[in-house]
Structure 1
Amino acid sequence: MNEISVIGGGSWATALVKILTENSIHVNWYMRRPEQVRSINQDAINPDYLSFLKLDNTKIYASGQLDEIVARSKVVLFAVPSAHLDSVCAAIPKEDLAEKFVITAVKGTVGPENLLPSAYLARRFDLKDFQQAMIAGPCHAEEIARNKKTYMTLCGLNETVISKISNCFASSYMQVNYSPDMIGVEYAAIYKNIVGIVCGMAEGLHYGDNFMAVLVANAIDELGLLLPAVGVHNVRLGRSMYLGDLLVTGYSAHSRNRTFGKYLGQGYSVFEARQLMGMVAEGYFATKGLMATVTSLGLNLPLLQTAYRVLYKRMAAIDEFKLLERNIR
């Protein structure tokens, strides 16, 4: 495997392109903004994300023509915010992905039915289970850009193809593991972004490390309730693609969701916090989608409920945390 198409122009997509090109994989890269395309092709720099990073553009073909980029590779990797996946896919004819292997690096629910990214893509393009995989963390783009030791998990049922794709990402600083549990890891990836927002709010409200540890312990417990409710059983939550991803999103200064939550804890409105971010915090959209799913399942998840009320009911974080204090153990 020596060629992959990447859809998306953000920091996560940029970090993935970096790894691939370092492994001599040719990348066909769809970027929506013309100035990004020009900068990549001329200067090997993404001007909007990880702009300190010089890429190897001898192995990159960047274009704003989505149909062209999809057609050029047998493997297509989606690395766009979940809120944009539907609109991006609407521009791709169903038959264009019929024979492709599709990888998702998307962490959020999609559309009014709050589908997992893999379920959405399967329905939209009639994909079979063996045609899909997903990338799981903990993988902050900023650390990948600086060659910091990272563990990635590729999830899916087609272990033969995924093993070949793993070689495209493995390096001296990137260890790639395999898991067949794509659905469970997708839910965990969605939930951990919400936890990141709640941890950020706690920091903005000046709670200490003791309370933060209690928050994260309760988050693990909530994830342990969520997964069996959606049909995922016998999961070892301590594995890196579950707990590891949750921890780094809750604690790391690189976490957009934590930063977003911190602004909310400091008293900024949701609108103001989103403006200050200047980039997408996936947990904002994930909270609404997962709340609908959890409500339909009859689950009581206090951390998720706290995030939802602050984000969508415009409740003050300080008031919601006083309630949360009584609802966690």
Structure 2
Amino acid sequence: MNEISVIGGGSWATALVKILTENSIHVNWYMRRSEQVRSINDDAINPDYLSFLKLDNTKIYASDQLDMLVARSKVILFVVPSAQLDQVCEAIPKNDMRDKFVITAIKGTVGPENLLPSAFIARHFELTDLQQAIIAGPCHAEEIARNKKTYITLCGSNQSVIQKISNAFASPYMQVHYSADMIGVEYAAIYKNVVGIVCGMAEGLHYGDNFIAVLVANAIDELGLLLQAVGVPNSRLGNSTYLGDLLVTGYSRHSRNRKFGQYLGQGFSAFEARGMMGMVAEGYYATKGLMNTVSSLELNMPLLQTAYRVLYNHMAAKDEFKLLERNIR
């Protein structure tokens, strides 16, 4: 496997392209904006994300022609915001995807049915489980861009294909592991963005490390409750794919969801905070999607409920946190 088509032009996509090209994988890279395409092809720089990073554009063909780039590769890597996934998929002829292997690196639910990204793609393109994998783990793009040691997990049921693909992502600073638990890992990756927002709100409200530690401890319990409810058997939450991703999103200065939450804690509205970000905070969409799922399962998840009321019921973060204090242990 020496060629992959990457769909998406954000920081996470840019970091993954960096890894792939370092491993001599040719990348056919779809970007929606023509300015980004020109900058990649001419200067080897993504002007909007990780602009300090010089890529190897001898191994990159960037274009804003989606269907053409999909046709060029047998392996397709989706790295777009969850809110854009349905539009992107609609723009790809279904027949063009029948023989593809699809990797998903998206952390949010999709559409009015709040589907997992992998489930949405499988249904839309009529793919089997053997044609899919997801990438997950504690892996901020900014640190990958600077060759900081990172562990990622490739999840899926087609272990033989995934083992081959894993070589494209492995490097001295990238350690790749395998898991068969697509559903559990995908739900964990979505929920951790909600936790990042809540921890950010706590920071913006001037709570200290002691209280944020309590939030994270309760978040671990909530995640375990969610995974059990969706039928994931005996997940080892201490595994870096689950807990590691949650912790880095809750604590790291690189977390865009945490930064988004800080703005909310400082008194900005969700609309104002989104405008100040300059990039998508997936937790905004994940909160609504997960809240609908959790409500149907009749689960009590105070952190998720707090995020939802602040984001969608327009409640003040300071008032919601007073209530949250009484609902966590």
Instruction: Report TM bin, short chain.
Output: over 0.9
Alignment correspondent of 1:190: 190
Alignment correspondent of 1:227: 227
Give, in whole Å, the separation in 2 of the partners of 1:154 and 1:209: 32
Shift of 1:320: 0.2
For 2:151, give the aligned amino acid.
Y
Give, in whole Å, the separation in 2 of the partners of 1:238 and 1:262: 27
Shift of 1:93: 1.1
Alignment correspondent of 1:118: 118
Give, in whole Å, the separation in 1 of the partners of 2:60 and 2:50: 16
Alignment correspondent of 2:28: 28
Alignment of structure 1 residues 66-85 onto 2, 5 Å? 66-85=66-85
CA RMSD of aligned residues (A): 0.4
Shift of 1:228: 1.0
Alignment of structure 1 residues 93-132 onto 2, 5 Å? 93-132=93-132
For 1:29, give the aligned amino acid.
W
Pairing 1:169–2:162 present: no
Alignment of structure 1 residues 248-263 onto 2, 5 Å? 248-263=248-263
Alignment correspondent of 2:45: 45
Alignment correspondent of 2:288: 288
Give, in whole Å, the separation in 1 of the partners of 2:235 and 2:258: 26
For 1:226, give the aligned amino acid.
L
For 1:247, give the aligned amino acid.
L
Task: Give 3-state SS (helix, strand or coil) of 2:134's partner.
Answer: strand
Alignment correspondent of 2:178: 178
Shift of 1:271: 1.0
Q: CA offsets per residue over residues 285-322 of structure 1, 9 Å max, x none?
A: 00000000000000010000000000000000000000
Alignment correspondent of 1:217: 217
For 2:108, give the aligned amino acid.
G
Alignment correspondent of 1:236: 236
Pairing 1:303–2:316 present: no
Task: Give 3-state SS (helix, strand or coil) of 2:244's partner.
Answer: helix
Give, in whole Å, the separation in 2 of the partners of 1:69 and 1:21: 16
Give, in whole Å, the separation in 2 of the partners of 1:298 and 1:272: 31
Give, in whole Å, the separation in 2 of the partners of 1:226 and 1:129: 22
Q: CA offsets per residue over residues 44-66 of structure 1, 9 Å max, x none?
A: 00000000000000000000000
Shift of 1:259: 0.1
Following superposition, which runs of at least 4 residues in structure 1 exceed 6 angstroms of deviation?
A: none
Shift of 1:137: 1.4
Structure 1: gaps of 5 or more residues: none
Give, in whole Å, the separation in 1 of the partners of 2:118 and 2:228: 19
Give, in whole Å, the separation in 2 of the partners of 1:86 and 1:241: 26
Q: CA offsets per residue over residues 239-289 of structure 1, 9 Å max, x none?
A: 001000000000000000000000000111111111110110000000000
For 2:197, give the aligned amino acid.
I
Q: How many residues align?
A: 329
For 1:129, give the aligned amino acid.
D
For 1:98, give the aligned amino acid.
R
Give, in whole Å, the separation in 1 of the partners of 2:326 and 2:68: 54
Give, in whole Å, the separation in 2 of the partners of 1:68 and 1:39: 19
Give, in whole Å, the separation in 2 of the partners of 1:223 and 1:152: 19
Task: Give 3-state SS (helix, strand or coil) of 1:102's partner.
Answer: strand
Alignment correspondent of 2:149: 149
Alignment correspondent of 1:203: 203
For 1:240, give the aligned amino acid.
S
Give, in whole Å, the separation in 1 of the partners of 2:275 and 2:137: 26
Shift of 1:161: 0.4
Task: Give 3-state SS (helix, strand or coil) of 1:113's partner.
Answer: coil
Give, in whole Å, the separation in 1 of the partners of 2:137 and 2:225: 21
Shift of 1:233: 1.3
Task: Give 3-state SS (helix, strand or coil) of 1:198's partner.
Answer: helix
Shift of 1:111: 0.5
Give, in whole Å, the separation in 2 of the partners of 1:137 and 1:21: 20
Give, in whole Å, the separation in 2 of the partners of 1:278 and 1:272: 11
Alignment correspondent of 2:86: 86
Give, in whole Å, the separation in 2 of the partners of 1:123 and 1:284: 24
Shift of 1:163: 0.4
Give, in whole Å, the separation in 1 of the partners of 2:153 and 2:321: 34
Q: CA offsets per residue over residues 100-121 of structure 1, 9 Å max, x none?
A: 0000000000001000001100
For 1:14, give the aligned amino acid.
T
Give, in whole Å, the separation in 1 of the partners of 2:54 and 2:201: 34
Give, in whole Å, the separation in 2 of the partners of 1:95 and 1:137: 32
For 1:279, give the aligned amino acid.
M
Q: CA offsets per residue over residues 109-152 of structure 1, 9 Å max, x none?
A: 00010000011001000000000000001000000000000000
Shift of 1:99: 0.3
Question: Normalized against structure 2, the TM-score is what?
Answer: 1.00
Q: CA offsets per residue over residues 19-58 of structure 1, 9 Å max, x none?
A: 0000000000000000000000000000000000000000
Give, in whole Å, the separation in 2 of the partners of 1:24 and 1:59: 7
For 1:326, give the aligned amino acid.
R
Give, in whole Å, the separation in 1 of the partners of 2:254 and 2:296: 33
Give, in whole Å, the separation in 1 of the partners of 2:43 and 2:118: 34
